[in-house]
């Protein structure tokens, strides 16, 4: 899936739709920690991961831009640190000039006022005035992989971000996942329209049938029931 198709298809979806599609497809649901949020509410981002493991110097990001393609998203691993910021306005400007689609940081940013003027989508765990006060040894794989919370991501992954947070998916499964997500979205929209028209969700998913079967078969799950009746809701 090229960048234009990715942006076009994600524009009509949410990360929640994609997460449910991952669950249905048996793909690990890899969410960034809950604190990683858009600097500017309403911001969305989608692109291939351009990983960078921060060690205290901006040169790592500049080198990452050398290998990045237009539409990539810089994913910065700063270990979730809250004692320093690691990205500011100059890095964002350089990323924008290199054609990147945005920045996701497992850590903090600064220069918020300038970043809002620049307008490049940025997701982080928050903001702090001070930059790094350290310079650590650079790992050999500093530009090959990044940790974001519990997950290791790299160029074989896509990163998607919206109001619900940030999600990573394998690029080679993107077409399948987006198709599943579109089906889930359409089902949920139909269900919402029917609720507004006066038909309860319980009636739509034949909840009485589920309760009756569960009484006879305690291991029968609601997800199994939903698959049987064509509901979406959970996945």
Residue 110 is assigned to a ligand binding site: yes
Residue 88 is assigned to a ligand binding site: yes
Residue 89 is assigned to a ligand binding site: yes
What is the C-alpha separation between 79 and 196, in angstroms, rounded? Answer: 45
Distances (CA, A) of 151 to 7, 106, 157, 168: 23, 11, 11, 9
Residue 183 is assigned to a ligand binding site: no
CB 109 within 8 A of CB 127: yes
Give which of 45, 42, 67, 57 is closest to 88, Cα–Cα.
Answer: 57
Spatial strand order of the sheet with 37-38 comes to 30-31, 165-170, 157-162, 45-53, 73-77, 102-106, 122-124, 37-38
What is the C-alpha separation between 10 and 158, in angstroms, rounded? Answer: 12
Give which of 60, 134, 147 is closest to 104, Cα–Cα.
Answer: 147
- Strands 73-77 and 45-53, bridge-based pairing: parallel
Stated length of the chain: 235
Residue 91 is assigned to a ligand binding site: yes
Residues in binding site for substrate: 88-91, 110
Residues in binding site for Mg(2+): 111
Residues in binding site: 88-91, 110-111
């Amino acid at each position: 899936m090229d960048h234009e198709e990715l942006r076009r298809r994600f524009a009509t979806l949410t990360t929640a739709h994609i997460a449910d599609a991952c669950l249905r497809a048996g793909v690990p649901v890899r969410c960034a920690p809950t604190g990683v949020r858009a600097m500017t509410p309403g911001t969305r981002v989608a692109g291939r991961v351009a990983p960078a493991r921060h060690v205290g110097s901006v040169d790592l990001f500049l080198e990452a831009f050398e290998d990045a393609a237009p539409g990539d998203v810089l994913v910065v691993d700063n270990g979730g640190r809250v004692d320093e910021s690691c990205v500011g306005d100059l890095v964002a400007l350089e990323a924008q000039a290199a054609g990147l689609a945005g920045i996701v940081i497992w850590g903090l940013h600064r220069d918020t006022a300038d970043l809002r003027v620049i307008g490049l989508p940025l997701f982080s765990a928050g903001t702090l005035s001070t930059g790094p006060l350290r310079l650590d040894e650079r790992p050999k794989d500093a530009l090959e992989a990044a940790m974001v919370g519990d997950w290791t991501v790299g160029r074989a992954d896509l990163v998607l971000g919206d109001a619900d947070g940030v999600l990573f998916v394998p690029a080679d499964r993107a077409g399948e996942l987006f198709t599943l997500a579109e089906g889930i979205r359409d089902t949920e929209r139909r269900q919402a329209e029917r609720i507004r028209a006066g038909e309860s969700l319980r009636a739509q998913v034949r909840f009485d049938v589920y309760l009756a079967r569960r009484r006879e078969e305690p291991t029968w799950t609601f997800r199994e029931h939903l698959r049987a009746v064509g509901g979406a809701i959970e996945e």
